[in-house]
Amino acid sequence: MFRKLRWMGLGALIAYFFDPQTGRRRRAEARQRVPAILRRTSAQAGGAAAAKATAVKAKATHLKEEEKPQPDDVTLARKVETEIFRDADVPKGKINVNAENGKVVLRGEVGEPSLIEDLEKRTKKVQGVREVENLLTAAT
């Protein structure tokens, strides 16, 4: 069944292009249009490939955050405060944060002993912190 349809389609195509009255014009049009369609299609595919390559390059370039200069002491102390006081359960008024040449000192009292280690870990994660001196105590 499909074989018959294929042969019928091929016959119609031959009749279309080799028609005695308009076949020559149709063949000339096809010679002009087919390469133009192929060029347009390949340009679109090439443009998409170029865009994808650019995106992959940008991702590879920005995999790691760029090193930033060492922040001054006040900025570093504020960054640490922003990080450690993010949670509501941290007693903001009872902790003092000082920074000097990349060394951060945490002083004060906290309610839970486990919070002391947690605050120290969070402080070490802040970019620019070189050393942490933890003078926090658990409230009794």
Mean pLDDT by runs of 10 across the 140 residues of the chain is 87 86 89 84 74 81 74 93 89 91 93 90 92 89
> The tokens of 20 are what?
């005695």
**Residue 65: predicted pLDDT:** 65
**Residue 78: predicted pLDDT:** 94
pTM for this entry: 0.52
**Residue 100: predicted pLDDT:** 94
The position carrying tokens 């499909």 is 2
**Residue 99: predicted pLDDT:** 95
Q: Which residues contact 140 (CB under 8 A, 6 or more apart)?
A: none
Q: For residues 78 and 75, what is the distance between their CA atoms, to the nearest angstrom?
A: 5
